[in-house]
A = this chain, B = another copy of it.
Amino acid sequence: MININIPRKNKTITTEAGDKLLKILIDNGEFVEGPCGGRGSCGRCKIKHISGYLPLITEDEKRFLSEEEINNGIRLACLISPTSDIQIDIIDQEKNHKVLTGGFIPEFNINPSIWKKVISIDKPTLGISTTYEDLFTNILGLEELDLNVLKNLKMQSGQFTVVYDGDKLMGLEYGNTTNEIYGVAVDIGTTTVVASLININTGEEIDSEAEINAQKNFGQDVLTRITYVVENREQGTLELQKAIVNSLNKMLNRICERQNLSKDRIYEMSIAANSTMIHILLGVESISLGKSPYAQMFSKAKNIMAREIGLDSMSSFARISTLPSVSSYIGADIVAGAFVAGLHKTDKRVLFIDIGTNGEIVLSDRGKLVSCSCAAGPALEGMNISSGMRASDGAIEEMGIGENEITLQVIGNTKPIGLCGSGILAAVREMLACGLVNERGNIVKPDSLESDDFRQKYLIVENKKRSIKINKDIRITQGDIRQVQLAKSAILSGFVALVNYVGLELTDLDEVIVAGQFGAHLPVESLVGTGILPKDVEKKIRYIGNSSKTGAYLSLISLDSRKEMNNLSKQIDYMELSVSEGYERLFVESSRFKI
A523 interface residue (CB < 8 Å to B): no
Instruction: List residues 405-421 of chain A with CB under 8 A from any CB of chain B.
Output: none
Whether A107 is near chain B, meaning CB under 8 Å from some CB there, is no
**Contact assessment for B130 and A282 in the assembled complex, using a CB-CB cutoff below 8 Å:** no
For window 271-312 of A, CB contacts with B under 8 Å fall at 282-285, 287-288, 292-300, 302, 304, 308
Chain B residues, CB < 8 A from A123 = 293, 295
> Hey, which chain B residues are within 8 Å of A299, CB to CB?
129, 131, 133-134
**In whole angstroms, what is the CA distance A576 to B134 when docked?**
20
> Chain B's nearest CB lies how many Å from the CB of A231?
15
Q: Are A296's CB and B131's CB within 8 A?
A: yes
Count residues on chain A whose CB falls below 8 Å from chain B CBs: 44
Interface CB pairs A-B, < 8 A, 17: A123-B295, A124-B288, A124-B295, A125-B293, A126-B292, A126-B294, A130-B295, A131-B295, A131-B299, A132-B296, A132-B297, A144-B302, A150-B282, A151-B284, A154-B285, A155-B287, A155-B297
Question: Which residue of chain B has its CB nearest to the CB of A145?
Answer: B298
Most buried by B among A130, A132, A144: A132
Q: A155-B288, A285-B155 are in contact. Are A297 and B150 (CB under 8 A)?
A: yes
- A147, B308: Cβ atoms under 8 Å? yes
Are B298 and A150 within 8 A (Cβ)?
A: yes
Judge if A332 is at the interface, Cβ distance under 8 Å.
Answer: no
How far is the CB of A152 from the nearest CB of chain B, in Å? Answer: 9
Q: A155-B287, A304-B147 are in contact. Are A133 and B297 (CB under 8 A)?
A: yes
Residue A190 lies at the interface, judged by CB distance under 8 Å to chain B: no
Top 6 nearest A-B pairs (CB, nearest first) are: A124-B295, A126-B293, A133-B298, A155-B288, A131-B296, A151-B283
Interface string of A111-149 (1 = CB under 8 A from B): 000000000000111111111111000000000110110
* Residue of B whose beta carbon sits closest to that of A144: B300
Question: Please, what's the 1-or-0 string for A305-341, where 1 marks a CB less than 8 Å from any CB in chain B?
Answer: 0001000000000000000001100000000000000
Chain B hits for A576, CB < 8 A: 126-127
Q: Contacts A132-B297, A153-B284, A154-B285 known; list 20 others, CB within 8 Å.
A: A124-B293, A124-B295, A125-B293, A126-B292, A126-B293, A127-B293, A127-B579, A128-B293, A129-B326, A130-B295, A131-B297, A132-B288, A133-B297, A144-B300, A144-B302, A147-B302, A150-B282, A150-B298, A151-B285, A155-B288
- B contact residues around A130 at 8 Å (CB): 295
A78 to chain B, nearest CB (A): 29
Question: A574: CB under 8 A from chain B?
Answer: yes
Provide the residues of chain B in CB contact with A148, threshold 8 Å: 308
Closest-by-CB residue of B relative to A124 is B295
Complex: how many Å from CA A475 to CA B283?
66
Q: Which of A131, A145, A285 has the most CB of B within 10 A?
A: A131
Tell me, in angstroms, the Cα distance from A237 to B300 when the chains sit together: 39
Residue of B nearest to A241 (CB): B151
The minimal Cβ–Cβ distance linking A544 to chain B, given in whole angstroms, is 26
Q: Which residues of B contact A284 (CB under 8 A)?
A: 147, 150-151, 153
Partner of A285, one of B153, B285, B295: B153
Assess A153 versus B297: contact at CB under 8 Å? Given A132-B288, A327-B129.
yes
| Cα separation A217 to B505 with both chains bound (whole Å) | 81
Also in contact, A155 and B282, with CB within 8 A (given A129-B326, A132-B288, A302-B147): no
Instruction: For residue A100, give the distance in angstroms from its CB to the closest CB of chain B.
Output: 28
A window 346-367: CB within 8 A of B: none
Residue of B nearest to A296 (CB): B131
Q: How far is the CA of A145 from the CA of B300 in the complex (A)?
A: 10
The listed residue (B126, B128, B298, B304) touching A131 by CB distance below 8 A is B298
A122–chain B nearest beta-carbon distance, Å = 11
A308 to B307, CA, bound (A): 12
The chain B residue with its CB closest to the CB of A233 is B154
Taking the closest CB of chain B, its distance from the CB of A202, in whole angstroms, is: 31
Which residues of B lie under 8 Å from residue A296 when comparing CB positions? 131-132
A368 to chain B, nearest CB (A): 16
Set of chain B residues within 8 Å of A574, measured between Cβ atoms: 129
User: How many Å from the CB of A566 to the closest CB on chain B?
Assistant: 12
**Does A155 contact B295, Cβ atoms closer than 8 Å?**
yes
Q: How far is the CA of A148 from the CA of B309 in the complex (A)?
A: 11
| Nearest B-chain residue to A579, judged by Cβ | B127
Contacts of A131 in B (CB 8 A): 295-300
Bound form: Cα–Cα A295–B133 in Å: 10
Q: A298 touching B132 by the CB < 8 A rule?
A: yes
Would A282 and B147 count as touching, CB distance under 8 A? yes
Name the B residues within 8 Å of A128 (CB-CB).
293
Contact B147 A300 (CB under 8 A): no
Question: CA separation between A305 and B297, bound complex, in Å?
Answer: 24
Chain A stretch 140-174: residues in CB contact (< 8 A) with chain B:
144-145, 147-148, 150-151, 153-155
Assembled-state Cα–Cα distance A134/B295 (Å): 11
Which residues of chain B have C-beta atoms less than 8 A from A124's C-beta? 288, 293, 295
Instruction: For the complex formed, measure the closest distance between the CB of A329 and the CB atoms of chain B, giving whole angstroms.
Output: 11
Q: Which of A298, A302, A308 has most B Cβ within 10 Å?
A: A298
Complex CA gap A297/B126 in Å reads: 14
A304 contact set on B, CB distance < 8 A: 147
